[in-house]
Amino acid sequence: MDCVERQDQILLYASNALDEAEAEELRAHLATGCAKCNAALREAKDFAGDLLGSLTPVTPSVGLKHQLMQSVLRDLVTPAKRSTDVERLRMIGYVAAASIGFILGMLIMYSRLTPSQDYQDRMQQLEVALADSRMSNQELQQMLGSSQTKLVSMGSAPDQPGGRALWDQEKRKWHQYIFNLKPPANGRTYELWFIPAGGKPIRAGIFDTDAKGAGVLVADLPADLRDLAVVAITDEPAGGSDQPTTTPFLVAKLQ
Amino acid sequence: MTIPAANDQMTLDQQDDIRLIQRLAARDSNAMTQLYDRYASRMLAIAIRVLNDRAVAEELLCDVFFEIWQKADRFDSSRGSVSTYLFMLTRSRSIDRKRSSGKMKLTSLEAASFDTPASGYTPASAVVASEQASEIKKAMRVLEPAQRQCIECSFFDGLSHSEIAEKLNKPLGTVKTTIRNGLIRLRDALRPMR
């Protein structure tokens, strides 16, 4: 088959409509660096792209961009090492295994050092820590190893919205995890509040939940915030509010 | 970084897209915001078309953008435009998600919508995109019904030839030939436009 005859084949290849045997043969030819066929492949891919791009656009939900940017910003803070997919999977496996081992070890130590801590709390700590897969191993170890890290629960009824948080008092960080909370309505978002004793609510951040009802928010406690008494979550207009406009539906009392 | 620089043979929009990807590779989060604003609505349309589930499609859209963020330094403009890369990646990941959930089924043909889109990131590019989509719509209507149906199943639903043959109760060889002829006809109809 010469390059002229391959043009139709290239079109089908770019559209994922070529049999694997023919595709393999074509890939072998393209790998030789044939300029004509590689140029044709680029054009064919752009053709396929144009077809896909011709569908009527659908505006994403309001909170989706915010959710994405939270992930991006979190990645900027604790960047993942760039590597091949195979290396990354292997690394994730090693880190996961090491993390699980370390966490279990720390929990066993906790059980000996803090005999008043019950099994349920320790399992919750494990669940919360493992849920935040974006936290680096080192960060996780430091937080769990600190006696100033507290576990905070919100809501307790099964299958009802609930939350758990890791309060890193040393670094003044609040790691909030939400479960069973359906995504906010269009034009709405969820907002977390820090409420000092006798004071007004302070904005901690906004977040959305995914289709599974899970949400994550990592917030810094303001430097001048003392005597944190209550943490609450409300339903607010998109972008959040300066003060709560609805009654909190999840509350944790810390004092 | 291996991203080739924008060149004069590209359109202005394509050059701008390349610069955005370069900024992403340099970990500029503002570039992600801009890329999202430009392409999220069209990428979501693709994901919904394949997955037929808006909630899952939005979840996937977030994952795709995050993947783009992490792999921006690997983009190779010699293989295709940024828009092609984004759309094809969205389609590919949507099909993967659909297969992993075991929900490979025909979506209604009514779900396919080739109406003139309005999005674009400059007024000029919006007009071009709108005209282009209108031409694609016309070309799709010129196809024989069987060709259009098979292409939609293959290209937009992500079904394999065997799955299409089973769903439409047609011989496998007929499905392959129908798709092949339909795509060639579509390409030839759209060639003068490109």
pLDDT at residue A171, rounded to an integer: 86
Q: Is A94 an 8 Å CB contact of chain B? A: no
Q: Which residues of B touch A75 (CB under 8 A)?
A: 66, 69-70
C-beta atoms surrounding A126 within 10 Å: 16
Per the model's pLDDT, the better-predicted residue between A160 and B93 turns out to be B93
pLDDT higher than threshold 80 for residue B73: yes
Mean pLDDT, rounded, for A28-48: 90
Residue B87 pLDDT: 95
Residues 158-187 of A with CB under 8 A from B: 183
pLDDT over threshold 90, residue B2? no
Please tell me the predicted confidence (pLDDT) of residue A150: 87
Per-residue model confidence (pLDDT) at position A232: 92
Quick one: three-class SS letters along B145-192?
HHHHHHHHHHHHCCCCHHHHHHHHCCCHHHHHHHHHHHHHHHHHHHCC
Closest CA to B179 of B141, B159, B149: B149
Q: What is the mean pLDDT of chain A?
A: 78
Closest residue in A to B189 (Cα–Cα) = A47
Residues facing A218 on adjacent strands: A175
Q: How far apart are CA A181 and CA B135, in angstroms?
A: 44
Say if the Cβ atoms of B186 and A51 lie within 8 Å.
yes
Mean pLDDT of B160-176: 91
pLDDT tens digit string along B15-58? 889 999 999 999 888 899 999 999 999 999 999 999 989 999 99
Cβ-contact B85, B20 below 8 angstroms = no
Mutation site for B-interface testing, chosen from A55, A68, A89 by largest number of B Cβ within 10 Å:
A55
Q: Average pLDDT in the A62-90 region?
A: 71
State both tokens at B151.
Answer: 């292409």
A230 or A82: which carries more pLDDT confidence?
A230
CA proximity to A163, closest of A176, A174, A173:
A176
Measured distance CA(B180)–CA(B165) in Å, rounded? 14
Tokens of B3: 């991203």
The answer, yes or no, to whether ipTM is higher than 0.90 is no
Strand order in the sheet with A149-154: A149-154, A162-168, A173-179, A215-220
Q: Is there a contact between A12 and B154 (Cβ–Cβ < 8 Å)?
A: no
- Alpha carbon of B177: minimum distance to chain A alpha carbons (Å): 10
Residue with the bigger pLDDT between B8 and B43: it is B43
DSSP 8-state class, residue A182: P
Indicate whether B193 pLDDT > 60: no
Question: Average pLDDT, stretch B77-104?
Answer: 86
Residue A93 pLDDT level (bands cut at 50, 70, 90):
low
Q: Which of B35, B42, B49 to mutate to test the interface with A (most CBs of A within 10 A)?
A: B42
Q: Say if residue B84's pLDDT is above 50.
A: yes
CB-CB: which of B66, B85, B194 is closest to A71?
A: B66
Q: Which pLDDT belongs to residue B140? A: 82
The alpha helices in chain A, defined as continuous H runs, are 3-14, 20-31, 35-53, 62-77, 85-113, 119-131, 137-145
Which residues 25-44 of A are in CB contact (within 8 Å) with B?
38, 41-44
Give per-residue pLDDT as tens, A140-196: 666 667 778 888 888 867 778 888 898 988 889 899 999 889 999 988 999 999 998
8 Å CB contact of A60 and B61: yes
What average pLDDT does range B104-119 have in this prediction? 41
- A64 touching B (Cβ < 8 Å): yes
Residue A229 has phi, psi (to 5 degrees) of -110, -40
Question: pLDDT band for position B67 (50/70/90)?
Answer: very high
- Which residues, 6 or more positions from A94, have their beta carbon under 8 angstroms from its beta carbon? none
DSSP character at residue A210: -
B62 contacts in A (CB within 8 Å)? 64, 67-68, 71
Question: Which of B131 and B148 is assigned the larger pLDDT?
Answer: B148
Residues 6+ apart with CB under 8 A from A89: none
pLDDT for the residue numbered A105: 53
> Residue B4: what pLDDT?
47
* Per-residue DSSP letter, A17: -
pLDDT at residue A110, rounded to an integer: 52
What's the pLDDT at B47?
95
pLDDT in tens, A125-142: 555 555 444 455 566 666
Question: How far apart, in whole angstroms, are the C-alpha atoms of residue B192 and residue B188?
Answer: 8
- Measured between CA atoms, the residue of chain A closest to residue B77 is A42
Question: Is A103 in contact with A144 (CB distance < 8 Å)?
Answer: yes
CA distance A27 to chain B (A): 13
Q: Is A58 on the interface with B (CB under 8 A)?
A: yes
Q: Show residues of chain A in contact with B161, CB under 8 Å.
A: 17, 19
Q: Find out whether A218 and A77 touch, Cβ atoms under 8 Å.
A: no
Q: Reduce the DSSP state of residue A1 to 3 states and report it.
A: coil
pLDDT band at A78 (very low <50, low <70, confident <90, very high): low
Q: Which residues of A touch B42 (CB under 8 A)?
A: 52-53, 55, 57
Q: Which of B33, B41, B54 sits opposite A57 (nearest CB)?
A: B41
**Tokens at A104, concatenated:** 């279990």
Main-chain dihedrals φ then ψ at residue A192, nearest 5 degrees:
-100, 140
Separation of alpha carbons A214 and B4, rounded Å: 39
- Spatial contact of B58 and A64, defined as CB atoms under 8 Å apart: yes
Instruction: Give the whole-angstrom CA distance, residue A240 versus residue A189.
Output: 7
Q: How far is CA B101 from CA A177, A210, A216, A249, B92, in A?
A: 25, 17, 24, 33, 14
Instruction: Return the pLDDT at A140.
Output: 65
CA distance B117 to B42: 9
Tell whether A12 is within 8 A of chain B (Cβ).
yes
Burial label, B169 (beta-carbon count in 10 A; 0-12, 13-18, 19+): exposed
